């Protein structure tokens, strides 16, 4: 997403880092000679009692990496825009005009970037260019950059969870069909659909893993509610991309025992599989457990950037 000039790094790959007043999370990914990525340095450090972001960064030598971070869910919006028939040089201006009424703050105070949606030829002719506009308040971007500058961490890219999930799902693509990936946080979820390493759909859900873990009886079970939300999303996807079908749905790791994949599979009529990161990547150190993979999930995806060094 938002990129800036960074110093040349000594380490291969990318280090994805998030930091707040109480904790620093980090994941490093680099290409493996055996194929697929390798995740080496990864973990979380609680701050307090003299520990600071700068001290942790200095101890773990973050300055030797190319670093990226992800914004928090409430710090940005992802807006789907279609019907844009403008030259590339006029795209940013056209997007600002299109999204100005979708924001709850003046568009002049927004930083806007673009994620493209590859469309089939028929859809492209009818609707023009389809895009995701990603908008964040200027203050959120500035605050993020200042946090890293004060800690003397060389931040190269500010990314978002939707793009991070795209990167993970791309590891599981096998052909021309789309792959859906569902991540459940404590009280919200994120569903994305990929095709050919491109993000085709992204939707936030008001369903988290705590709902699935809740044993309270109701007329509609939590899994049924989740299945209904997913089915509505997939129906919308099929209407929008009539020539593209979904091959499978991947369930990101969760910090609760058991799996709901088989229950969802029966309700959706699609294969629903627990995502097995070890099947497509080499995991070292702290990423061995499902709890760690869940907690660091979007940093794992953010560290999978495939751009050349800045």
CATH number of the domain encompassing residue 102? 3.30.1490
CATH of the domain at 196: 3.30.420.40
Residue 244 placed within a domain: yes
User: What per-residue confidence (pLDDT) applies to 149?
Assistant: 97
One domain for residues 57 and 128: no
Residue ranges for the chain with pLDDT beneath 50: 5, 121-126, 217-219, 308-310
CATH of the domain at 34: 3.30.420
User: What per-residue confidence (pLDDT) applies to 68?
Assistant: 97
One domain for residues 39 and 65: yes
One domain for residues 26 and 45: yes
One domain for residues 123 and 223: no
User: What per-residue confidence (pLDDT) applies to 128?
Assistant: 57
User: What per-residue confidence (pLDDT) applies to 126?
Assistant: 40
Residue 216 CB: number of other CB atoms within 10 A? Answer: 6
Could you please report the per-residue DSSP string of 207-263?
Answer: --HHHHH-----SS-HHHHHHHHHHHHHHHHHHHSTT--EEEEEEPP-SSSS--HHH
State the residue range of the domain holding 28. 2-71+141-161
Taken in order 145, 151, 154, 157, the sign of the CA dihedral is: negative
Residue 109 placed within a domain: yes
One domain for residues 119 and 80: yes
Cα separation, 108 vs 97, whole angstroms: 10
One domain for residues 31 and 145: yes
Could you please report the per-residue DSSP string of 166-208?
Answer: HHHHHTT--SSSEEEEEEE-SS-EEEEEEETTEEEEEEEES--
Which pairs with CB-CB distance under 8 Å and at least 24 residues apart come from 199-206? 199/115, 199/117, 199/132, 199/162, 199/163, 199/166, 200/117, 200/118, 200/237, 200/241, 200/244, 201/233, 201/236, 201/237, 201/240, 202/78, 202/132, 202/162, 202/165, 203/233, 204/73, 205/229
One domain for residues 145 and 105: no
User: What per-residue confidence (pLDDT) applies to 185?
Assistant: 95
Residue 38 placed within a domain: yes
One domain for residues 228 and 102: no
One domain for residues 11 and 153: yes
Residue 183 placed within a domain: yes
Residue 284 placed within a domain: no
Token code pair at residue 150:
């004060």
The model's pTM: 0.91
One domain for residues 47 and 93: no
Q: Answer for the pair 26, 7: CB distance below 8 angstroms, yes or no.
A: no
One domain for residues 99 and 56: no
Residue 40 placed within a domain: yes
User: What per-residue confidence (pLDDT) applies to 5?
Assistant: 47
One domain for residues 67 and 78: no
How many structural domains is the chain composed of?
A: 3
User: What per-residue confidence (pLDDT) applies to 49?
Assistant: 79
Residue 209 placed within a domain: yes
User: What per-residue confidence (pLDDT) applies to 310?
Assistant: 34
């Amino acid at each position: 997403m938002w990129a800036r000039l960074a110093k040349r790094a000594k380490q291969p790959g990318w280090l994805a880092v998030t930091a707040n007043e109480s904790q620093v999370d980090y994941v490093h990914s680099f290409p493996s000679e055996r194929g697929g990525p390798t995740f080496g340095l990864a973990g979380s450090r609680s701050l307090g009692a003299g520990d600071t972001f700068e001290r942790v960064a200095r101890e773990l030598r973050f300055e030797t990496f190319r670093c990226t971070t992800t914004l928090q869910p409430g710090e940005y919006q992802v807006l789907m825009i279609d019907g844009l028939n403008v030259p590339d040089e006029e795209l940013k201006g056209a997007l600002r005009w299109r999204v100005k009424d979708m924001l709850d703050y003046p568009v002049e105070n927004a930083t806007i970037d673009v994620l493209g949606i590859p469309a089939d030829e028929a859809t492209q002719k009818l609707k023009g260019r389809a895009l995701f506009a990603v908008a964040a308040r200027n203050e959120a971007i500035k605050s993020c950059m200042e946090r890293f500058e004060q800690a003397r961490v060389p931040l190269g890219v500010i990314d978002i969870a939707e793009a991070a999930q795209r990167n993970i799902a791309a590891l599981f693509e096998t052909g021309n069909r789309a792959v859906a990936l569902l991540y459940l946080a404590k009280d919200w979820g994120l569903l994305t659909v990929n095709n050919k390493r491109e993000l085709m759909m992204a939707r936030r859900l008001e369903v988290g893993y705590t709902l699935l873990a809740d044993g309270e009886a109701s007329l509609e079970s939590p899994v049924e509610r989740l299945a209904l939300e997913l089915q509505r999303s997939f129906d919308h996807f099929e209407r929008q991309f009539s020539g593209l079908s979904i091959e499978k749905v991947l369930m990101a790791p969760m910090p609760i025992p058991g799996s709901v994949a088989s229950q969802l599979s029966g309700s959706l009529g699609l294969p629903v599989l627990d995502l097995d990161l070890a099947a497509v990547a080499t995991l070292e150190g702290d990423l061995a457990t499902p709890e760690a993979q869940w907690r660091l999930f979007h940093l794992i995806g953010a560290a999978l950037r495939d751009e050349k060094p800045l």
